[in-house]
Amino acid sequence: MWDTFQSSRFKKKNRKRQREELRHIGLLGKKPKNHDLRAKYPFGITTLEITQEIITFLRGAQETVLFPPMDSKTRKMVHRLASQFKVKSKSVGRADQRRPTLTRTVSTMKYKESEFDRAIARICPGVDSGHKSKARGSQILEIYHHTTASYHEGEIVGSQAPALAEGNRGRIILEKMGWSHGKSLGSSETKGILQPVALAMRRSRAGLQ
């Protein structure tokens, strides 16, 4: 009963805090315009989210987009990116509510992934536009599928794997604990297994026998 009461109090307190934050930025009780990203990010926006929203703007046909409030350094980054693609930009608002707005012009360039990545690398090094991480994930997935496809029915997975090198950190730790090549894991009393549990590749869809 007490836990339910405490949980209810916490939820009410959290809702009150969210209302106060919305009231502070002027969104409480208002229906924001579609191009105002302050409604989408009422509690702040990350650098990665900024780059993704700029990509969406360049790809789409929207004339104007208004970002949430941000510090001067981040606004400068947005303005530089906008200038790179011939997008008109300016900051509106005062103090901690100052935020950049982008407007499409007749000279606005079309979005190209390679050009955008180069602009990101030049203007804000260290920031990932999201393309590299996705490409890296696809590359890892492709390697995984290629590796699993190389095994044949009944073949023991890892049977061709080389022994751990002498400089391997895991091997060094084991050797410090008394293990040596050819010995089983664990103390002499426990007599652990000498070889790992074998896993045979099974590609057929028949049930277990």
**pLDDT at position 101:** 92
Q: Which residues pair with 88 in a beta bridge?
A: 103
Question: Letter for the amino acid at 160?
Answer: Q
Per residue in 185-199, pLDDT tens? 766 666 677 777 777
- Would you kindly state where each structural domain of the chain is located, as residue ranges? 47-123
**Mean pLDDT, rounded, of the chain:** 75
- Mean per-residue pLDDT, 166-173: 82
Q: Which helix (H) or strand (E) holds 51?
A: helix 47-59
Distance CA 89, CA 66 (A): 10
pLDDT at 133 over 60: no
Question: Which token pair is 152?
Answer: 């044949």
Per residue in 37-54, pLDDT tens? 888 888 788 888 888 899
Q: Is residue 50 exposed (0-12), middle (13-18) or buried (19+ Cβ within 10 Å)?
A: buried
pLDDT at 176 over 80: yes
b/e string for 56-95 if b means 16 or more Cβ within 10 A? ebbeeeeeebbbbbbeeebbebbbebbebbebebebeeee
What is the model's pTM? 0.47
Q: Which residues contact 185 (CB under 8 A, 6 or more apart)?
A: 174, 179, 192, 193
Per residue in 89-109, pLDDT tens? 999 888 888 899 999 988 898
- Mean per-residue pLDDT, 1-13: 75
Distance CA 101, CA 37 (A): 10
- 47-123 CATH fold: Ribosomal Protein S8; Chain: A, domain 1 (3.30.1370)
**pLDDT at position 199:** 77
